[in-house]
Amino acid sequence: MPELPEVEVVRRGLEAHVVGRTIDSVEVLHPRPVRRHLAGADDFAALTTGRVVLAAHRRGKYLWLPLDTGDAVLGHLGMSGQLLVQPVGAPDERHLRVRFRLRDAGELRFVDQRMFGGLSVSPGGADLPPEIAHIARDPMDPLFDDDAFVAAVRRRSSGLKRTLLDQTVISGVGNIYADEALWGARLHGDRPGDKLRRSDVLRVLEEVRAVLAAALVEGGTSFDALYVNVNGESGYFDRSLHAYGREGLPCDRCGTLVVRVSFMNRSSYFCPVCQPRPRARRAS
C-alpha cells in the first residue's frame, strides 16, 4: 500500500507535469474508481473537461487538484492505485481506469488493479475538500502542531501505535512507518499515551519524521522523466527497515530476535528488549 512518502512523490510529479495544464477530455474506463462521485462518471467527466489544473495538494494520503472552477479533483490511491503521466499514444496499461488528455502535455492516467482507490470531484473543494477536512495534517506539513500532537497522545489511555495510526490526530503514518518509528524511539506500541513523558512523545515524532524523510529521499530518486509512479514496493522497504517484516531476525541495535504480534488485523514488529512491553494497567 502506498504510504505517505510515495504519495508525496506523486504530488510532486503532478506539480511538475500536470499543474497549469488544461484537461481537454476525460475518459472513465471503469465505473468503480469514480464511485465516490455520486452523480456518476459522465458528471465527473463534464465537471473536469476544459478545466485548468491550478495546483497539486496533499492531506495525508489524499491528493487534490484545485480546478479553475473552484472545485477540485480529489484522489486516493488505495492499495494499488497509480497516477502516471504518459505520452499520447503510449499503450494503455492493463488496469487503466481513467484517462485525462492534457493540452500539449500527454495524458494523466489513473491505473488501479484492485480499485480500492478512486477519484471524485469535490464541489468548492479547491482550498481543502470538505470530505477530508477531518484528516489531521501530517508531520511533514510545515503547519503540523507538535505541542497539540503531544497533548493529544497524552490525553489518551490508548496505545501509542494506535494513536500514530489515527488519521484525526496525525495523518499519513502507516503501519510500516509506525513500527519503524517506535523501534527508533525504543518504545513499545502498546505503551498507553497517558503514561508517556512529553520527551517520549517528541522522540517518537522525531523518529516518524526521520523515517518519512528517508523514504522520501529514496522515493524521489525513482521519480524521473515523464513518469509519476507509486507502487508501495519502493526500494526503501528492502534496505532500510529495522523492525517491520523482520520477525525472527536479529535487532540491528541489540541482536535480540524481532517479534511479530497481530495488531488491528495487521502485524506489529518490535524488539522485546529495546521496546519492552508496558506492564499491565491495574484495574481501577
Q: Is 123 a catalytic residue?
A: no
Q: How far apart are CA 250 and CA 242, in angstroms?
A: 9
Among 195, 253, 277, 281, the residue binding Zn ion under the rule CB under 5 A is 253
CA 214 vs CA 37, 39, 254: distances in Å: 35, 41, 22
Residue in 251, 263, 268, 269 binding Zn ion, rule: CB under 5 A: 251
Residue 61 known to be catalytic: yes
CB of 181 to Zn ion, least distance (A): 15
* Phi, psi torsion values for 233, nearest 5 degrees: -110, 35
**Closer Cβ to Zn ion, 142 or 248, answer by number:** 248
Query: Is there binding between residue 271 and Zn ion (CB under 5 A)?
Result: yes
Q: Which residues of 130-163 are buried (b: 16+ CB within 10 A; e: fewer)?
A: ebbeebbbbbbeeebeeeebbebbbebeebbbbb
* 254 near Zn ion, judged by CB under 5 A: yes
Q: Which is nearer to Zn ion, 111 or 271 (CB)?
A: 271
- Min CB(47)–Zn ion separation in Å: 53
Region near Zn ion per CB under 5 A, out of 166-174, 211-219, 229-237, 266-274: 266-274
68 touches 22 (CB < 8 A) = no
Segment interacting with Zn ion, rule: CB under 5 A, options 13-21, 66-74, 193-201, 270-278: 270-278
- Residue 39, CA distances (Å) to 21, 49, 97, 125, 233 in order: 25, 15, 18, 16, 34
Indicate the residue among 85 and 271 with the shorter CB distance to Zn ion: 271
Residue whose CB is less far from Zn ion, 236 or 269: 269
Q: Is 249 in the site for Zn ion (CB under 5 A)?
A: no
Distance CA 196, CA 215 (A): 27
Cell 491505473 locates to 111
Q: Which is the catalytic residue, given 114, 195, 253, 266?
A: 266
Residues pairing with 82 in the sheet:
111
Cβ-based nearer residue to Zn ion, 121 or 271: 271
192 is catalytic: no
The residue range among 75-83, 144-152, 228-236, 264-272 that interacts with Zn ion, by the rule CB under 5 A, is 264-272
* Shortest distance in whole angstroms from residue 239 CB to Zn ion: 19
Active site residue 276: no
CA angle 73–78–79, rounded 5-degree value: 155
Judged by CB under 5 A, the chain residues 19 through 48 that form the site for Zn ion are none
First-residue to last-residue Cα distance in the chain: 40
Q: Enumerate binding residues for Zn ion (CB under 5 A).
A: 251, 253-254, 256, 271, 273-274
Active site residues per annotation: 2-3, 61, 266
